[in-house]
């Protein structure tokens, strides 16, 4: 059917927009504006090298400096997808768009978004935990009302002392945010946090917004299911076998370079799809996250479990 291509373009645009708005880590996509993307699973990240100040000579003038701009090609390692069938008897052409929108919107909200959040958080935690001498990670902390504020302030201090003065964001599970609220007896300040064109009211500590993240997305490692192997048919992700529970993570907003792109969505009408009298919807999404080497000091993670 001719209109299926138009339907696919509509879904692609809307689902990409919905993804960034509903992700707890959607603010990280703001940094993707600095990358080049021309489709597929590759992006190019810019790197700028500058020389420092030199002496100014009143006769010769300025000391010539140099600037080198390079682009490093990165491959999005996360290539995930699913195909869905909507029986032709359940919908007709007049209500297909509404039905398919509900199905794909629910799929993205309940399955895609949590997986992307969990993946991004686990990768950032891996980076922070890999810094020598545990400079960017703290272990064995059980959430306590009397100490939670100091713990968060200490994490902010670590990042600030590493020279990162830009906006900082705190990702915290619900136990952490509850402890914060109880510790300050409802006196915590709130402010506006913008993400994907949506403004929301969130609590702040030291002018740093706190984003509430479900516990099941706050792991130091996850295992992705392939959707085929026995026991993995449900797809999605689960906590990694050696993963640790994260109480909260603090990160400079400008640090994570996150990209999530839906590949060209394919929709086949019942007249075209041969295996069943049904509409076929093919959903495929590339995504990944990167942190430049000189930005590792802008991530801090507080972990419930002891260090292995």
Q: How confident is the model at residue 222 (pLDDT cuts 50, 70, 90)?
A: very high
Task: Measure CA of the first residue to CA of the last residue in the chain; give whole Å.
Answer: 57
Q: Which residues contact 124 (CB under 8 A, 6 or more apart)?
A: 249, 251, 256, 289, 291, 299, 301
Predicted model pTM: 0.86
pLDDT digits (tens, 9 = 90+) for 271-302: 888 889 988 888 888 899 999 888 999 999 99
Question: Mean pLDDT over all residues of the chain?
Answer: 88
Residue 20's φ and ψ, nearest 5 degrees, are -65, -35
Say yes or no to pLDDT of 2 above 70.
Answer: no
Model pLDDT for residues 37-74, shown as the tens digit of each residue: 766 677 787 777 888 899 988 988 898 988 888 787 88
- Does 201 score more than 90 pLDDT? no
Query: Would you state the pLDDT for residue 95?
Result: 72
**Orientation of helix 3-22 relative to helix 96-107, angle to 10°:** 30
Strand bridging mode 189-195 / 198-205? antiparallel
């Amino acid at each position: 059917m001719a209109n299926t291509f138009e339907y696919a373009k509509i879904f692609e645009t809307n689902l990409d927009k919905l993804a960034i708005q509903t992700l707890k880590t959607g603010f990280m996509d703001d940094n993707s504006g600095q990358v080049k993307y021309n489709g597929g699973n590759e992006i190019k990240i810019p790197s700028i090298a500058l020389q420092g100040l030199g002496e100014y000579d009143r006769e010769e003038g300025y000391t010539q400096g140099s600037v080198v701009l390079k682009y490093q090609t990165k491959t999005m390692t996360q290539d995930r997808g699913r195909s869905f069938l909507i029986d032709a008897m359940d919908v007709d052409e007049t209500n297909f768009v509404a039905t398919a929108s509900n199905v794909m919107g629910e799929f993205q909200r309940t399955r895609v978004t949590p997986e992307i959040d969990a993946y991004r958080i686990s990768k950032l935690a891996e980076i922070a935990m890999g810094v020598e001498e545990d400079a960017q990670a703290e272990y064995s902390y059980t959430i306590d009302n009397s100490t939670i504020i100091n713990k968060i302030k200490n994490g902010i201090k670590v990042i600030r002392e590493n020279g990162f003065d830009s906006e900082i964001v705190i990702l915290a599970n619900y136990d952490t945010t509850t402890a914060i609220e109880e510790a300050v007896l409802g006196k915590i300040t709130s402010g506006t946090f913008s993400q994907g064109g949506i403004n929301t009211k969130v609590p702040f500590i030291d002018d740093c917004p706190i984003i509430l993240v479900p516990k099941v997305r706050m792991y130091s490692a996850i295992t992705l299911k392939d959707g085929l192997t026995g026991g993995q048919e449900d797809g999605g992700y689960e906590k990694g076998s050696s993963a640790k529970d994260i109480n909260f993570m603090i990160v400079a907003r400008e640090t994570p370079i996150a990209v999530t792109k839906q590949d060209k969505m394919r929709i086949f009408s019942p007249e075209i799809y041969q295996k069943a009298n049904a509409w076929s919807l093919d959903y495929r999404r590339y995504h990944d996250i990167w942190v430049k080497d000189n930005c590792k000091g802008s991530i801090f993670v507080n972990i419930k479990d002891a260090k292995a």
